[in-house]
Chains A and B, each alone.
Chain A
Amino acid sequence: MSASPLVEAKGVQPTFTAAPWRERAEEALIPPLVALLVALICGDLLILSYGQSPAAVYRMLLEGTWGNAYGFGQVLYKATTLAFTGLAVSFGLRAGLFNIGAESQLAAGGFAAALTGLVLPGGTPLALALLVCMIAAGFAGGVVGSVPAYLKTRFGAHEVIVTIMLNFIVLALLNWFIAGHLHVPETLHTPEIHAGVLPRLADIDSRFHGSAANLALIVAVLVAIAVWFYLFRARGGYELRAVGLQPQTAEYGGISVNRVWMRALTFSGVIAGMGGINYVLGYKHYYEDGFASGAGFLGIAVALVGRNHPFGVIIAAFFFATLSQGGLAIHAFVPKQMMDVLQGVVIIAVATAVPEVRRILRGARGRSDA
């Protein structure tokens, strides 16, 4: 007998009905725009509370992020990690599951990439070393992701709670490895890896000099395309989305819900784990305790604002990376902590606007049809 599926109403669900593209576009685009407006107003208030001019601060924010190659490079670097965690969260959400464990999956992936880079001999060809490190990162993330998957399908344990608890356990375990065994004296990071260093954008175009953006960016875009193909063009993805919409119906339709859930959470972990290469292979070339801090939780925001569509996630990752880098650009006038506030505001505003906008739009259409 299969474990009884824990069916809940999830706030974010893809629509299966073939609604006209205009209606779907309205439902997809209005909530982020509402959220942006709310965030701008809150930002105004925070800036004014500091006695600064909102217009000047916002201009500074844009100039410091998109206005010069270094700032833009930093945005791209931060967007890369967020794209991985956002894709991971949205992959789970498509199956109706909340993966709040991207934080620890990302850390585990980075740790595995660093270990692999340390073990490989220095002369390993770059392509081979990258491939092996990436597989190791994805594997470690997948192992962490498979734990809530197994507990959910075998025992019906709620994945939200398990992934949160697992975050603490995995991070403590990694901390024990690093602090107790693998660190360079006086630091909390491993030695530098011997093989698998990803080229930076600055190596290709010198204008990006100093920024951490690297070719992990390309990997993130490739992963997004792969996720898109799987979700919308492959049979497994069709099953996954069907389970996300209505597990019971999918089960009657001959889909094994447990198998789909197992796959969804495990691969969600794989995607998050692969994100570890951005910091480890692309930027610092070592694993440092706490490097993943916050990126997993922001991944939830990215998935939500990106409306669970792989390409929407990429855009949302870019948006949140801009906020985060923009905080540094305005720090001399308004503390960068303002962006921490705005991130929270954006998530609450989108989460609130999504069901509300859908209701209002459907209500309006219902009246015009009558």
Chain B
Amino acid sequence: MNPISFVTQMIRIAIPYLFAASGGVVAERAGIVSLTLEGFMLSGAFAAVLGTNYSGSPWVGVLSGVLGGLIFALIHAVATIRYRADQVVVGVAINLLAIGVTRFFLKLFFASSSNSPRVAGFGGNINMAGFDNPLLWLGIIVAPVMAFVIYKTPFGLRVRAVGEHPDAAESVGVSVKRVRYAAVALSGMLAALGGVYLALDQHQFTDQMTAGRGFIAISAVIFGRWDPIRAALACLLFAAAETLQIQLQGSHAIPSQFIEMIPYALVIIALAGVVGRAIPPAALGRVED
């Protein structure tokens, strides 16, 4: 096995996870459950293909993809923050809605129930192995940037405050709702970028193309104990397992289904406290009046 090709492939696989997990960390640190990452990614992927298809420019695709994720994030935010609906229920519904909306508009715009036509993308130089894609570099720096935002900026302080002690934050004049709106919106845009990367990398949208990646990302958030850097390392770990599976294909050493299970099994182990207790933000999922 060639170590360089292993690492480059691992990074390419990790990019969607890195974007989505960063989004998940921000929303959950603000106290909003992030079961929605899958839906944000899927809507981002579809909107990116739509934008790229009609403009011919992948940059327009990036913008429309981010907008697509933002729209779903705002639906989630209004339902859970303004109307205090249950975050788990709405989260599940957002994912179903994203599947439905992308399917419906796939039919409406491209008259297909499975995939869009081929669209433009970034890079494509065979010798660069995908590293001539600006989104890939953005994905590599997104975790450190989010770590800076969460730990070193006033916004990050407020996010952490409303996720741990919303009453205390409110009493010193922080608008809990406004900070949560901002955090969910940011999480929608970041997760959408993961979907955008996926769609532009494959040059098309296919039905349910995120295929559970949003759930792997949320696993990484929990496994990384709600810290951007540790979550990013978890993403890399999961991507490494997947790369191993791809590179071992044909050898049949381990059935691929068992490699697929690794991230999910690790999260259950983490939650069971075997590798140190996973303690979520204190106000995560709470509905306060």
User: Does B108 contact A49, Cβ atoms closer than 8 Å?
Assistant: yes
Of the residues A11, A161, A340, contact of B104 by C-beta under 8 Å: A340
At the interface, yes or no: A30 with Cβ under 8 Å from chain B? no
Given known pairs A160-B88, A165-B267, A344-B100, the reply for A11 and B257 (CB within 8 Å) is no
Given known pairs A10-B86, A151-B268, the reply for A347 and B104 (CB within 8 Å) is no
A109–B273 CA distance with the chains assembled, in angstroms: 29
Given known pairs A50-B108, A168-B260, A338-B104, the reply for A348 and B93 (CB within 8 Å) is yes
The interface bits of chain B over 78-101 (1 if a CB of A lies within 8 angstroms of the residue's CB, else 0) are 010001111011101111111111
A70–B5 CA distance with the chains assembled, in angstroms: 56
At the interface, yes or no: A166 with Cβ under 8 Å from chain B? yes
Q: How large is the interface on A (under 10, 10 to 19, 20 to 34, 35 or more residues)?
A: 35 or more
At the interface, yes or no: A335 with Cβ under 8 Å from chain B? yes
Given known pairs A175-B257, A335-B113, the reply for A348 and B104 (CB within 8 Å) is no
At the interface, yes or no: A337 with Cβ under 8 Å from chain B? yes
Most B C-beta atoms less than 10 A away, residue of A9, A49, A154: A9
Q: Which residues of A contact B280 (CB under 8 A)?
A: 158
User: Does A165 contact B93, Cβ atoms closer than 8 Å?
Assistant: no
Size of chain B's interface in residues, with CB distance under 8 A? 49
User: Does B92 contact A168, Cβ atoms closer than 8 Å?
Assistant: no
At the interface, yes or no: A164 with Cβ under 8 Å from chain B? yes
Closest residue of chain A to B103 (Cβ to Cβ) is A337
The interface bits of chain A over 10-43 (1 if a CB of B lies within 8 angstroms of the residue's CB, else 0) are 1110000000000000000000000000000000
Which residues of B84-129 are within 8 A (CB) of A? 84-86, 88-90, 92-101, 103-104, 106-108, 113
At the interface, yes or no: A352 with Cβ under 8 Å from chain B? yes
At the interface, yes or no: A333 with Cβ under 8 Å from chain B? no
User: Does A355 contact B104, Cβ atoms closer than 8 Å?
Assistant: no
Of the residues A12, A155, A156, contact of B86 by C-beta under 8 Å: A12
Taking beta carbons and an 8 Å cutoff, which residues of A are in contact with B? Answer: 8-12, 46, 49-50, 98, 100, 151, 154-158, 160-162, 164-166, 168-169, 172-173, 175-176, 179-180, 297-298, 300-301, 304, 335, 337-345, 347-348, 351-352, 354-356
The interface bits of chain B over 264-283 (1 if a CB of A lies within 8 angstroms of the residue's CB, else 0) are 11011001110000001000
A184–B82 CA distance with the chains assembled, in angstroms: 52
Closest residue of chain A to B83 (Cβ to Cβ) is A352
The 10 closest A-B pairs by CB, nearest first: A11-B86, A344-B97, A340-B100, A347-B93, A157-B271, A341-B100, A337-B103, A176-B257, A165-B264, A335-B107
Name the distance in Å between B241's Cβ and chain A's nearest Cβ.
13
* 9 A–B contacts from the bound complex (CB under 8 Å): A169-B261, A176-B255, A297-B95, A335-B103, A337-B100, A347-B90, A348-B79, A348-B90, A352-B90
Of the residues B88, B219, B257, contact of A173 by C-beta under 8 Å: B257
Q: Tell me the total A-B contact number using a CB cutoff of 8 A.
A: 147
User: Does A165 contact B104, Cβ atoms closer than 8 Å?
Assistant: no
Name the distance in Å between B211's Cβ and chain A's nearest Cβ.
11
Other A-B contacts than A98-B88, A347-B92, 18 sampled, CB-CB below 8 A, are A11-B85, A100-B92, A156-B273, A165-B265, A166-B268, A169-B264, A173-B261, A179-B257, A297-B95, A301-B93, A335-B107, A335-B108, A340-B99, A341-B97, A341-B104, A344-B97, A348-B75, A351-B79
Q: Which residues of B contact A344 (CB under 8 A)?
A: 93-94, 96-101
Given known pairs A340-B100, A347-B96, the reply for A172 and B258 (CB within 8 Å) is yes
A9–B89 CA distance with the chains assembled, in angstroms: 13
Q: Which residues of A contact B271 (CB under 8 A)?
A: 151, 155, 157-158, 161-162
Most A C-beta atoms less than 10 A away, residue of B92, B99, B264: B92
A175–B260 CA distance with the chains assembled, in angstroms: 11
Q: Which residues of A contact B215 (CB under 8 A)?
A: 164-165, 168
At the interface, yes or no: B56 with Cβ under 8 Å from chain A? no
Name the distance in Å between B20's Cβ and chain A's nearest Cβ.
15
A335–B100 CA distance with the chains assembled, in angstroms: 11
Of the residues B219, B261, B268, contact of A157 by C-beta under 8 Å: B268
Closest residue of chain A to B111 (Cβ to Cβ) is A335
User: Does B286 contact A172, Cβ atoms closer than 8 Å?
Assistant: no
Q: Which residues of A contact B99 (CB under 8 A)?
A: 340, 344
Q: Which residues of A contact B89 (CB under 8 A)?
A: 11-12, 300, 304, 347, 351
A250–B3 CA distance with the chains assembled, in angstroms: 57
A151–B271 CA distance with the chains assembled, in angstroms: 8
At the interface, yes or no: B222 with Cβ under 8 Å from chain A? yes
Closest residue of chain B to A294 (Cβ to Cβ) is B96
Name the distance in Å between A300's Cβ and chain B's nearest Cβ.
5
At the interface, yes or no: B134 with Cβ under 8 Å from chain A? no
A247–B104 CA distance with the chains assembled, in angstroms: 43
